[in-house]
Structure 1
């Protein structure tokens, strides 16, 4: 096995360790994961279209990825300074805003994809 291949394999190992850390140490990531699993199960239940699967999949990936970035920024910021710092607060707030905006988009996707199907269930 050459060194380049080993480095690539190690990078995947470290990335999966990051995923494990994210879900082990970040309660909001666990909430997002539960909602993502719920959306996937509903997708199978309602037999959503390929385009709908695409929207659901992309938005799940976006929310989880931004949660990971937000968590990494907060962790690094806390390491840099334990004292109150206006710039660090601004950076952390902006990172959290990214997750919030993606979560709001996920809600919109969920409503657009699943609400009509739920309403249809209750039609006579």
Structure 2
């Protein structure tokens, strides 16, 4: 019988299993950082928004939540792209639709993040610069 290898047994030591799960998640994060330029750009923009929010003294909660949403969707988009490439190594219109739709989810979250950032950060920034 060929095909899929058997699933590894779970480690009976719960803490070790949790630590391994974190290690796998870290590998996924490192992979996305290495291969996804947009992920690196989104991390930078999120850090800039947090830094600006700190400087302006605004509530960081919505900024952090939106940054987490955008980055999480980018990670899911990366995973979906990899799975789609595995399942459909040659061009297929449904594979394109899956990839484009996952990318659209990141775009929608990014646009709402931008709007929220402008709403939260622009008025105090203009006041700090003496332009309002």
How does the TM-score come out when normalised to structure 2? 0.86
Q: Aligned Cα RMSD in Å?
A: 1.5
Matched, 1:92 2:102: no
1:46: which partner in 2?
56
Higher RCO (CA < 8 A, seq sep 6+)? 1
SS in 2 for 1:83: coil
Q: Does 1:28 align with 2:28?
A: no
Provide the C-alpha distance between the structure 2 equivalents of 1:26 and 1:54, rounded to a whole number of angstroms: 26
* Structure 2 residue ranges without an equivalent (≥5): 1-11
Following superposition, the deviation at residue 61 of structure 1 comes to 0.2
How far has the Cα of 1:82 moved from its partner?
2.2
Do structure 1's residue 13 and structure 2's residue 23 form an aligned pair? yes
Shift of 1:29: 0.2
TM-score (norm 1): 0.91
Larger Rg: 2
1:69-118 alpha-carbon deviations (Å, 9 max, x no partner): 00110011112222111111111111001000000011011101111012
Q: How many residues were matched structurally? A: 121
The match for 1:62 is 69
2:90 aligns to what? Answer: 83
Structure 1 residues without counterparts, runs of 5 or longer:
none
